[in-house]
Structure formats: C-alpha cells, structure tokens
Amino acid sequence: GRTGVGRAHGKAILLGEHAVVYGAPALAVPLPRLTVTARATRLPSPADGVSFAMARPASAPVRLRAADGLRRLAAEFAAMTGVRERMGAEVLIDCAVPHGRGLGSSAACARAAVLAFADLFDRRLDAGEVFDLVQTSERMAHGRASGIDALATGSSVPLLFRSGTARELRIGFDGLFVIADSGTSGSTRDAVELVRRRFERAPGTRASFVDRVADLTDAAARDLTDGRAADFGARLTDNHALLRDVGVSTDRIDALVDAALAAGALGAKISGGGLGGCAVALAADPDRAHAVERDLHDAGAARTWIVPAGRYAAHA
C-alpha cells in the first residue's frame, strides 16, 4: 500500500528554557542534521487502530511514553480531519535525535508522525493544526509544554518564541555553537515538575526567575541579530547560573559548562529541560570550537556537535 512520509528535526534551546513555560520568551535553533522520518502505512482493518514502532532502539519507558502521546495524537488527528473510520495505520519512526537530551526528540517524533498521517490520508493541515496536534502529544509526554519544541522542530531558522507564537531570527555573527551530550538522559517532565514545586514552595522565586530570564533572552535576541557574539555568550553563561539555581542542572552539566568556559568559549550553559541532557557553548572561531570540543570530551561529554552560526545567517 501507499506510505505517508513526514519529516522533522531536532532543536537546541539557547536561552529561556523553563521560564518559557511561565510566559517568558525563549530562543531556539533548529538542528536540521538530526532528522526524524516517520513512515505511515495503512493496516488492513481500521479496528487494528494505530501502532507505533521506533526504527532505532529507545528505552522501554521512552517507547511507552512516546507511544501514548502519539496514540492520542492519532485520535486527535482523526477527529480533526474526519478520517476516524479509516484510521488503521502503522507508523515507523526513525529518530536520529537522541532521546532525553533536551534536543526535542518527543516533539520531532510527533511532528513527523502528524505529517506522515496527513500525507497518508491526503489531508492538508495548516501550520496551526500541525502545531495543535504536536502539542497534544507534547502535553502527554511532558505535562506543561510551552510549544517551543513543537515549532522549532519544524523551523529552518532560529526562533524567538513567546506565548505560542514565534518570530524568525537571522544570526548576525560568525561564531560556532558547540553542543555536548552529558551522556545522561533527563526527563523534561520531571524537570518541569521540579521547577513547579520549587516555585510553589517559594513563590517569590518564580517572578524573579522568570523576569530575569526574560530580560536576558530579549537582550540576547538583539545581540544575536545585531552580531554581538561576545555579549551573546555572556548572556548564555548568566542564564546558566539562573537555571542552576533553580535546580535543573547536574554536576556533569556544570562540569561541561566550566570546561567550555576554561577552553575559551564566549559563554556556555545547560540546554533544554535539564536533569541531564546537553550543554551548549558558543565559540568565536573554528579553532576555538575544536579546542572547546576537545575539552568537553575530556570533561565527560559522550558526544558533541558543532553548528556554525553562519548556517542561520541572513545570507544563508
């Protein structure tokens, strides 16, 4: 039978994670090389429902949680498009985004699946419908989801996200982002919950965290587009301190941040939900990026990726 195909990719948050859940802006870059492809085929009988399989190994809890979110997504898709009576499908997801690293694997899988369904059932979905469907799955995967991952995993340019909408940004400097996987996975759901409980216990901390991150992120977005790499880097490091204080960093991530700064990065921080996952650093030029990368490995990074900012430049 016919196969519906959908694609999406990973993302890295540069500033604003966690605060974005409470209305602050956040800044994310797409990672187009970390691709996700979903292939949907019809099952002989609609009674077979929708089943999901991962083409690459994932841990059992990841598989289960993803399947829950994606099944809900399939039901919403059916309700939205009226294909309910014909909705027997099997979806195979090939996800190159590592799971639990804050790189958007859950949103990217959901987005790819939505687009594969739409393709298989010949339904045109507008951007808002795709967003709503991805968010359905994201809310199952990690409770309160701001929506930044749902958008950034489908964007080809950096985004400044604020309360459900995003502005496209172009980067005005030549640095290189170095992303380092700490080698431990962190649950975004647990991290978001930890922050919520912390704010509940000490209500004053919420406003000060959210306001300070919002100011940093807005200023960083101006540095980014105006080409002030050093200032942008300093804001990354400032944002890390706030995230560490709120409790979502780990010793390993702190060690990666320290190593990147000691190697001459312009700035470094945790990226994404935290409690594991990744750190991101900004290096001024390729030589520095390689030095940072080497020291990140020495400090325990399991994997690193170098993403030239020029890839998102105005002329790119």
Residue 13 makes contact with ligand MEV by CB under 6 A: yes
Site string for ligand MEV, 93-132 (x = CB under 6 A): ---------x------------------------------
Span near ligand MEV by CB under 6 A; candidates 1-9, 91-99, 141-149, 238-246: 141-149
- Minimum CB separation from ligand MEV for residue 144, in Å? 7
Q: For residues 16 and 172, which CB has a smaller minimum distance to ligand MEV in the complex?
A: 16
- Minimum CB separation from ligand MEV for residue 238, in Å? 17
Dihedral pair phi/psi, residue 261, rounded to 5°: -65, -40
Q: For residues 81 and 188, which CB has a smaller minimum distance to ligand MEV in the complex?
A: 188
- Minimum CB separation from ligand MEV for residue 192, in Å? 6
Task: Pick out residues in 165-224 that bind ligand MEV (CB under 6 A).
Answer: 188, 192
Q: What are the residues whose beta carbons fall under 8 Å from the beta carbon of 276, sequence distance 6 or more?
A: 100, 101, 182, 184, 185, 186, 250, 252, 253
Number of residues that bind ligand MEV (CB under 6 A): 14
- How far, CA to CA in Å, does 138 sit from each of 15, 48, 105, 146, 213? 20, 24, 10, 9, 23
Site string for ligand MEV, 254-293 (x = CB under 6 A): ------------------xx--------------------
Span near ligand MEV by CB under 6 A; candidates 10-18, 47-55, 196-204, 296-304: 10-18
Residue 146 makes contact with ligand MEV by CB under 6 A: yes
Provide the binding-site residues for ligand MEV, judged by CB under 6 A.
13, 17-18, 20-21, 102, 145-146, 148-149, 188, 192, 272-273
